[in-house]
Amino acid sequence: MDVIYMDNNATTKIAPEVLDAMMPYLTDYYGNASSMHNFGGMVGRQIVEAREKVAALINADPGEIIFTSCGTESDSTAVHAAIRSNPSKKHIITTRVEHPAIKNLYEYLAKNGYRVTWVPVDSEGVLDLDFLYDHLSEDTAIVSIMWANNESGVIFPIDEIAEKLASRKIVFHSDAVQAVGKLPVDVKKTGLNMMSISGHKLHAPKGVGALYVKKGTKFSPFMIGGHQERNRRGGTENSASIIGMGKACELVGSHIEEIDTRVRSMRDRLEDGLLKNVPNALLNGKKDARLPNTTNISFEYIEGEAILLMMDQLGICASSGSACTSGSLEPSHVLRAMGVPFTAAHGSIRFSLSTYNTEKEVDFVVENLPPIIERLRNMSPFWKEGACKVQ
Ligand code: PLP
């Protein structure tokens, strides 16, 4: 099926090179990496290499990488390790715009004995750092701040926050699922304690992730079981996917510059084209502090779901900023935290590009989306009222 895939923050295509690297370990070399025989040992050695490649991408030591099943598991592992290692501390700080992998976990902990401080963002999605620093206390067990927001693409100043936390005995965790592979990330420079990564956001398959745990950080496993991952994550290794993730990290490492230049310029062309050609279109997120591949645009007075369906008929894949909850469309918690008005939040669309996109695809969307918006607006009672229409 021919599609114009602009939904790379949701998931990415498996790079052909990644699939090639994985295939032998899905077919001929199925040994268990922990087995004593050489048939399994061969797989184990490939996992060692994969760990080195993931570590190299973020400038970590290989021993600081734990393979997991996904970004969500990495997040849960980090948070549980922090709170179990500091059982007397009952305070957590995070942001109002985290992915559900963190948000729902902290909402659960808030009902189970923890006090959670939710740091707000402004209308551009920028974090209120003073609010964060003002709420640090002796009781704070963990600060979890995402590196880049999956919806708006806004990047948070992780280096600056890490510097501020360095002198305190507080675990600093970042959900870097959207950042790693799109931005240069150097854990040695940043000095955070734990950082979550997901394979399927960087052209590896679904079902594999990694958690960086800085040497010396107190840790206890979330998945208790066998001795795999040096007793830090029980469960037979998902060897083919881990090997694929290693290859993917090697590849994206060599593409970071291309993402910052070619992908950024395609994103800007798409964004500028849509904002110029569609009246009442608003950008969500601070323009100069975003992931280079992401743009989130609100088309006022229509519903994002309707836009998605009509784009889908043309093979264009993107995401909307509202989700169907209990039969009604609810704007995302991220857009609500940014104070995006209801009429705009409902019609928000996120486009997230990758190195596989082309300028031709961008031009196709810029040409074909404005008439879709116009058709939908002509059907919209809110737009027809005319009170809001910009001539
Ligand atoms: N964190 C962020 C910021 C994400 O965007 C996602 C996925 O969209 C996750 C965590 C969850 O990752 P996974 O799907 O690998 O569990």
388 is catalytic: no
Active-site residue (options: 70, 249, 317, 324): 324
Structure confidence at residue 391 (pLDDT): 41
pLDDT over 70, % of the chain: 96
Q: pLDDT (tens digit, 9 = 90+) per residue, 104-159?
A: 999 999 999 999 999 999 999 999 999 999 999 999 999 999 999 999 999 999 99
How far is residue 284's CA from residue 128's CA, in Å, rounded to a whole number? Answer: 17
**Nearest atom within ligand 1 for CA of residue 209:** 15
Q: pLDDT (tens digit, 9 = 90+) per residue, 22-77?
A: 999 999 999 999 999 999 999 999 999 999 999 999 999 999 999 999 999 999 99
- Count of CB atoms situated within 10 Å of the CB of 324: 10
**Nearest atom within ligand 1 for CA of residue 98:** 3
The rounded Å distance from CA 153 to ligand 1 centre is 13
The rounded Å distance from CA 9 to ligand 1 centre is 9
How far is residue 234's CA from residue 222's CA, in Å, rounded to a whole number? Answer: 8
**Ligand 1 pocket: which of 144, 173, 178, 293 to mutate (most atoms within 8 A of CB):** 178
Rounded to an integer, the average pLDDT of 225-253 is 97
List, in sequence order, the alpha helices (H) in 97-238. 100-110, 129-134, 158-165, 187-190, 228-231
pLDDT level of residue 325 (50, 70, 90 thresholds): low
Q: In what order do the strands lie in the sheet with 294-299?
A: 281-283, 294-299, 348-352, 319-320
Burial of 304: CB neighbours in 10 Å, binned 0-12, 13-18, 19+: buried
Q: Whose CA is nearest to atom 9 of ligand 1?
A: 71
Min mean pLDDT across 101-115, 291-305, 313-327 is at: 313-327
Domain segments of the chain: what residues? 4-10+255-384, 16-252
Ligand 1 cavity residues, CB under 6 Å: 70-72, 99, 101, 146, 150, 175, 177-178, 198, 200, 209
- The three-class DSSP label of residue 194 is strand
**Nearest atom within ligand 1 for CA of residue 149:** 3
Per CATH, domain 16-252 is 3.40.640.10: yes
pLDDT level of residue 361 (50, 70, 90 thresholds): very high
Rounded to an integer, the average pLDDT of 233-237 is 97
How far is residue 207's CA from residue 14's CA, in Å, rounded to a whole number? Answer: 12
Q: What is the CA radius of gyration of the chain?
A: 22
The rounded Å distance from CA 314 to ligand 1 centre is 27
Whole-structure pTM value? 0.96
pLDDT at 384 over 90: no
pLDDT at 390 over 50: no
pLDDT level of residue 386 (50, 70, 90 thresholds): low
Structure confidence at residue 380 (pLDDT): 81
The rounded Å distance from CA 292 to ligand 1 centre is 18
pLDDT level of residue 326 (50, 70, 90 thresholds): low
Query: What is the Cα 51 distance to its own chain's centre?
Result: 21
Average pLDDT of the chain is 95
Smallest CA-to-CA distance from 46 within 28, 37, 33 is with 33
**Ligand 1 pocket: which of 73, 95, 99 to mutate (most atoms within 8 A of CB):** 99
Q: Whose CA is nearest to atom 12 of ligand 1?
A: 71
pLDDT at 169 over 70: yes
pLDDT at 277 over 80: yes
How far is residue 333's CA from residue 99's CA, in Å, rounded to a whole number? Answer: 9
Structure confidence at residue 323 (pLDDT): 67
Tell the CATH superfamily of the 4-10+255-384 domain: Aspartate Aminotransferase, domain 1 (3.90.1150.10)
